[in-house]
Structure 1
Amino acid sequence: MSANEIPAPYRVGDASVTKIPEIIADFPAGKLLPGYEPAALPPHRDGSRTLGGDGGHLPLSIHSWLVRVGAMTVLVDSGVGNGKHRASTLFDRLDTPWLDRLAAAGARPDDVTHVLLTHLHTDHVGWNTVPGPDGWVPTFPNARTLMPRLGYELFTAPGGRSRPNHDMFADSVLPVVEAGLAEFVPPEGGEVLSGFTYLPTPGHSRDHMSIIFRAEGREALFAGDVLHHPVQVARPDLSSMFCEAPEEARRSRGRMLDLAAERGLTWFSSHCAGSSAGTVTRDGERFAWSFRGADAPLRSMPSPDRGRGA
């Protein structure tokens, strides 16, 4: 995908929701989802690419979601970021046109009014900051960045520096807090701004939260890392290798699948490849996943004016 190509936006009531891609990677299926058995799973397809059932590798996408509704321009999670030293070779010192893709979707950093973080992990906070003259500075100077308070407390508590992901905390979270741009979501969640409600969904991490979005009577779910791949819809008992508390993650996943199926929510995933959005229905005693807009064409927009913003 070139820098000035972005997926077509979705509609949720009077809001538009656009995927801002960063990277995609394949993981060995059995490593990503311990207990994975491709022969026991129903097929999941997105266009011509089988997502589950090939028995080898499963693709994961890293991306953000841009929500434009009324006077608000909201970014849900902020990816890995460029030029940051990371222990994972997949994330180390990336150089992607993510900011150009954001501009192609119609938003420059100065336009963003809110950044909503589902949890404080490396691949969800990275574009919070960019290099400045004396270190990392906030990318979105006019935005309020909302993050789970529990995650912040875990990293600032005694011993927090020894936690996995601390490198991202130092360069991608603290600069935003120190600039006075952060707001903290309490562990019980709640409506943090009009139309956006945080729900506690721990398991993947202790601070993990999902977000219900409502606009003109329509609803969507930004579920974060409640699931990493559509095969977990058919097999919600499978937790990923990245989940801190697998059994708690299973319970949170079950609650969100019940909610999505019951209320017909559009599920905007953090890591499903392809269109990355879908719906969940009940199929007997199981759940089933259907991609929404999997074959939507890419739209191409003029390259952004490099004289403005990033």
Structure 2
Amino acid sequence: MSTTTPHADPLPSTPAWTVGDLTVRRVDEVHLPPRTGPWLLPGATPEIVADLPWLQPEFVDEQRVLRLASHSFAVEANGLRVLVDTGIGNGKQRANPAWDNLNSDYLARLTEAGFTPETVDLVVLTHLHTDHVGWNTRADGASWVPTFPNARYLTTRAEWDYWAGVDMDEARRQMFRDSVHPIKEAGLLDVLDVPSGGADIAPGLRLRPTPGHTPGQVAVELSSHGESALITGDCIHHPVQLAHPDLGSCVDIDPAAAARTRQELLSSLSGTPTLLLGSHFPPPTAGHVVPEGDTYRLVPAS
């Protein structure tokens, strides 16, 4: 990963989108440093980016380097207050220098969005990677305690069973010790079987399996009154992958499965009114998938 700290460009006020009666808010944590893109998606070379003028200026910088961000999505759904993924977290020892002992104003932004930690009902973890589980917990003296004490935290059984059986390196074991095991020990973690056709978790909220990046990763589908949106998780890291669905991440556990998942997902969304919300897309973050020759592009939504 990058050896530089996240850059300090100002983050915008909390943006929101409506999906029928549902409201989705992006809660920013931090812009990821410029070297993240070449590390994470090494196939997204400046030459490939240059052939995709629609990526500029929002999704790539002047040097044709990918812009990426860390954020959560806070969803109000039929009286339920749901947080999708919890970012990197503050004050945690991480092997990645860009994430090590982060000090962001994420909780203030979450509160600004109207989601004080005590009011969150459900935390959906699209997968158990370090930059998606960090705010599961917060420091309380020398201990890590659940940030959202009244919430159920949800992950899939395929995801849980994979990490329970794999030989993890010390950096990942540390992440589980400070960000995953404390919520399990507090009795707040639910492990859900999600069949290939998906699983409803609440009215208007559905988990859609998107394996490849990790075995049990899911996207989150939102629907209300004929409108729909999809939160990607890491099955799509950046809009460049719409034009090149075979372009994978260096941390995909099964790159071939990840590419198949991405192609199937984009094909199902292409030309539809479904709003795509990228878990690492920089502002404007949301858009619609439209066909572009044999592949796709993203048309940003307001």
Instruction: Indicate the residue corresponding to 1:43 in structure 2.
Output: 53
SS at match of 1:7: coil
Q: Aligned residue for 1:112?
A: 120
Structure 2 equivalent of residue 130 of structure 1: 138
Post-superposition offset of 1:64: 0.3
Residues 176-206 of structure 1 deviation map (CA, whole Å, 9 limit, x = unaligned): 1111111112142411222211111111112
Letter in 2 for 1:82: N
Kindly indicate whether residue 159 of structure 2 is the aligned counterpart of residue 151 of structure 1.
yes
Distance 2:174 2:289 in 1: 36
Deviations 1:258-297 (A, max 9, x none): 122154210111111122111101123221111112xxxx
The 5-angstrom pairing of residues 15-26 of structure 1 reads: 15-25=22-32, 26=34
Cα offset, 1:87, TM superposition? 0.7
1:234 maps to 2:240:
no
What SS does the corresponding residue of 2:13 show, helix, strand or coil? strand
Contact map agreement 1:52 1:231 (CA 8 A) in 2: no
CA deviation string 1:140-189 (max 9, x = no partner): 111111112222223333x5444762221111111111111111121424
**Distance in 2 of aligned mates of 1:207 and 1:12:** 26
Does 1:204 find its partner at 2:216?
no
SS for the counterpart of 1:36 is coil
Equivalent residue for 1:77, pick from 85, 92, 103: 85
1-side partners of 2:84 and 2:62: how far apart? 31
State the one-letter code of the partner of 1:267: L
**Map of 2:5 onto structure 1:** none
Please report the RMSD computed on the Cα atoms of aligned residues, expressed in angstroms. Answer: 2.1
**In structure 2, C-alpha distance between the alignment counterparts of 1:207 and 1:193, rounded to whole Å:** 19
From 224, 244, 257, the counterpart of 2:233:
224
Q: Does 1:86 align with 2:101?
A: no
Q: Matches of 2:291 and 2:168 in 1, distance apart?
A: 43
| Residue identity matched to 1:242 | V
Aligned counterparts, 1:168-183, within 5 A: 168-183=175-190
Name the SS for the 1:226 alignment partner: coil
AA paired with 2:280? H
Cα distance in structure 1, aligned partners of 2:233 and 2:137: 20
Q: Give the TM-score of the pair, scaled to structure 2.
A: 0.88
Report how far residue 78 of structure 1 moved: 0.4
**Higher strand proportion (structure 1 or 2):** 1
- Whether 2:290 is the aligned partner of 1:272: answer no
Q: How does 1:275-286 map to 2 (within 5 A)?
A: 275-286=284-295
Change in 2 beyond 3 A, CA 1:104/1:53: closer
Q: What residue ranges of structure 1 are gaps of 5+ in the alignment?
A: 294-310
**Equivalent pairs: percent with the same residue?**
36
Shifted more, 88-97 versus 131-140: the winner is: 131-140
Deviation at 1:44, TM superposition (A): 2.5
Q: Does 1:12 align with 2:22?
A: no
> Residue 140 of structure 1 corresponds to which residue in structure 2?
148
Give TM-score scaled by structure 1 length: 0.86
Tell whether the 8 Å contact from 2:61 to 2:67 is kept in structure 1 after alignment: no
Structure 1 stretch 209-218 or stretch 78-87: which is displaced more?
209-218
**Aligned with 1:225: secondary structure?**
coil
Q: Mind listing any 5+ residue stretches in structure 2 that lack a counterpart?
A: 1-8
Preserved CA contact (<8 Å) 1:203 1:245: yes
Output the amino acid matched with 1:42. L
Give the number of the structure with larger relative contact order, counting CA–CA contacts within 8 Å between residues 6 or more apart. Answer: 1
Give the CA deviation at 1:50: 4.8
Q: Deviations over 1:44-90 (max 9, x none)?
A: 346xx253485542111000000012211110000011001111011
**Residue 224 of structure 1: SS of its match in structure 2?**
coil
Is the 8 Å Cα contact of residues 44 and 52 (structure 1) preserved in structure 2?
A: no
